A and B are shown apart, each in its own frame.
Chain A
Amino acid sequence: MTVEYTHDFEKPIAELEQEIAKLERLAVKSQLNLSAELEKLRDRALQVKREIYGNLTPWQRVQIARDPRRPLLTDYLAGAVEDFLELHGDRTYGDDKAVVTGFGRIGDERVMLVGHKRGKNTAERVKCNFGSPHPEGYRKALLKMQLAEQCRIPVVTIINTAGAYPGIGAEERGQAQAIAKNLFEMSRLRTQILCIVIGEGGSGGALGIGLGDRLAILENAYFSVISPEGCAAILWKDGTKAPQAAQVLKLAPKDLQGLGVVDDIIPEPVGGAHQDPPGAVARVKEYIQKTLRELRALPIGELLKKRYERHRRIGAFLEGEEAKVYFQASMVKAAARAQAKAQKEAGGAAPNAPAPNAASPTESALLVAGAGGVLSAAPPSASAPAPSPSAAAAPPAPAPVAPARSPAPAAAGEGRGEGWSEPPSASATPAPIAATTPDPTAPPAAP
């Protein structure tokens, strides 16, 4: 099997393999026995491969996940599924080619397959919209999953999409509603659901068929709230910073497993699924069979309970005493930052402007103003003690950061119940809020 190496980080492997090929040719031509040398080189190549593919950066994984040579849904259907019977249509609007659904057998298991279809060549890709579904795709998926429930067979979803399609028709027909409805129904579907990300797990468009009893991901696939390019465009206004974005988003399988988002990582053949598609398909098939056996062992009530708890517990936040300590520390840090900034500005502006900070609504001034409630009371007083990290846990609360309304660190959680019945002037305080325009260079959030 000849493999082409197209990614930058694969260069050392490509060079080694070229050498091996050269030596092989030489051995044939010169009738010399070079098997020992060849063996050595092959070992070396394998070692380098293991090393490179075992230490990929998140961005490198994203590149592999998008590699067009990687096995796609159709390869899994051909290689792991027997007797596939495709079922079309959402019975409402149409048949979205970006989502394929149908009955099939995987070993002894009869299942309902639901997956994103991306296409092997340009014609196919255009036809299935590059794997980006419209609402009718999600509705078709739901209909067939409900059929599976009716037939008491498990659902296996194969996820590989850059995202749900952003278009006029998609919005007109309720893209958001279709995805929401799938999440709603999949959370209570009375049959086993196994979800596997085989390439790209692009945000809501992936999750729309991704809520189940298990979420598995291939070693070189990714799952993210936003594409690295989209994240980079928001954070740095520069889509070329996607590699950095991939890093901060924690979209690689190991990170996702650590966050509790993903249950299992399916290892790929050395060098990635694109270098040995049948090997990758076989591993996925094996995983499906093993996992379905496990899921079938649970009574359906228990299964649904676990599915609910699985999603219910995902998230990171603090509560109670821990929250108080963390919040106080954040406030202390914020105050220190504001103070440092104010001092720096006061120092820098000192020769020209003896009254520092009185005018320009700098971030630091606003920060202190928001805390103190009055803009003019923002004192960049150099005499105030710089809060040390150890002050975080030490009551009483640092005075300069007590916000106008509510969570003064020490009083956090107290007295807010009554707060809501205060007159609007107190609860809505537009003055400091109105002045504090969020940092426009760092917009948040994604679909």
Chain B
Amino acid sequence: MAWDGLKKFVFRRKRDLPEGLWMRCDDCGALIYKKVVEERNNTCPECNYHFPMTAPERIQLLLDPGSFHELWEDLTPVDPLGFVGVNVYRDRLAETQIQTGLRDAAIVGVGTIQSKPLVFGVTDSRFIMGSMGSVVGEKIARGAELAAQEKLPYVVISGSGGGARMYEGCLSLMQMAKTSAAIARLHDAGGVFVSVLTHPTMAGVMASFAALGHIVIAEPKALIGFTGPRVIEQTIKQELPKGFQRAEFMLDHGFVDLIVARQELRETLARILGYIPGRVASGIHPALSPA
């Protein structure tokens, strides 16, 4: 349900980007030079609003060049309900797969950040709003299990306006249980989970693994919460206060450890990894030399 209120934030970039050298910031509305925005890793030079980033861009930004090794990349979503709404879920999947080059919204694998090995996952908001269906849930859970087994830290960059993916019905809902249980196992195995929340992280994703980081990091101004702002406004019939459900609000209310700008995220993750014992128990990838 959060989706409706959020689509205007998430997809505006795509409408604005194609033509011209200038674009308008989704948040402050300033007219900004596109090239500068790109140089700043898709952030606004005026207000530091963080535009959505694709999963491959994230990997590029955060991991050591060439170190990332994707796992379970052939996990393919299906249409378990035979979902026919305005369009057919399977068709929508195929079109999104073609547009994004991804099989589903999550990429999980192993790699290094400043030579420190980790299991790394990231969701892509281009793929049905980064929503969690069976494939996303399965990959996040497998990542947690691998991290527990290999005694590696686990970092997941989340971003989903919709949360659990409606098109897979209760199977999506139960991915909340699946991923939370897997994170609990990682916890019991002595592992450390770092959850990075990007704009927006809502509903079923936030009400499961994304909220369960031992360390929770948010990008500036990211919308974070359970119910989308529009639904809340409709329910309580009053306007929401400024900054409601933003990263800064979540920090103030104690649900986030720190807010980190995109430009500093790699450095910050490396510093955090420096405090987490990580070693590779078996040779899962040549790039990860046992430490």
Contacts and interface: CB of A to CB of B under 8 A. Distances in A.
A447 B203 contact: yes
B240 interface: yes
B86 A236 contact: yes
Interface string A193-230: 00000000001100110110000000000011110001
A314 B135 CA distance: 11
Contact of A175 (B83, B128, B176, B207): B207
Interface in B159-185: 160-178, 180-185
A259 B166 contact: no
A323 interface: yes
A93 B196 CA distance: 27
Contact of B57 (A256, A307, A424): A424
Interface stretch (B208-216, B262-270, B274-282): B208-216
Interface stretch (A23-31, A67-75, A164-172, A285-293): A164-172
Given A188-B188, A259-B80, A407 B207 contact: no
B126 to A, nearest CB: 7
Nearest to B180: A183
Interface stretch (B24-32, B147-155, B226-234): B226-234
B227 A183 contact: no
Contacts of B133: 315
A176 B90 contact: no
A320 B74 contact: yes
A431 to B, nearest CB: 8
Nearest to B13: A434
A235 interface: yes
Contacts of B85: 235-236, 245, 248, 442
A376 interface: no
Interface in B1-60: 1-4, 7, 11, 13-15, 17-18, 54, 56-57, 59-60
A417 B206 contact: no
A324 interface: yes
Interface residues of B, number: 114
B244 A413 contact: no
A370 B212 CA distance: 36
Contacts of B175: 314-315
A42 B245 CA distance: 59
A446 B162 CA distance: 5
Q: Is the interface of A mostly helix, strand, loop or mixed?
A: helix
Interface stretch (A140-148, A352-360, A398-406): A398-406
Contacts of A440: 7
A174 B255 contact: yes
A105 interface: no
B83 A248 contact: yes
Interface string A308-319: 100110111111
A314 B177 contact: yes
Contacts of B162: 443-447
Given A225-B170, A416-B73, A176 B56 contact: no
Contact of B98 (A176, A308, A334): A334
Interface in A148-169: 164, 166-168
A424 B254 CA distance: 36
Given A173-B253, A177-B207, A443-B7, 18 more contacts: A171-B227, A176-B203, A176-B226, A183-B181, A203-B173, A207-B173, A211-B177, A211-B180, A248-B81, A326-B76, A367-B95, A401-B98, A420-B70, A430-B17, A433-B54, A433-B99, A445-B166, A446-B3
14 contacts: A167-B235, A176-B225, A179-B208, A225-B204, A250-B170, A256-B170, A307-B181, A330-B94, A334-B94, A420-B59, A427-B59, A433-B126, A444-B162, A444-B167
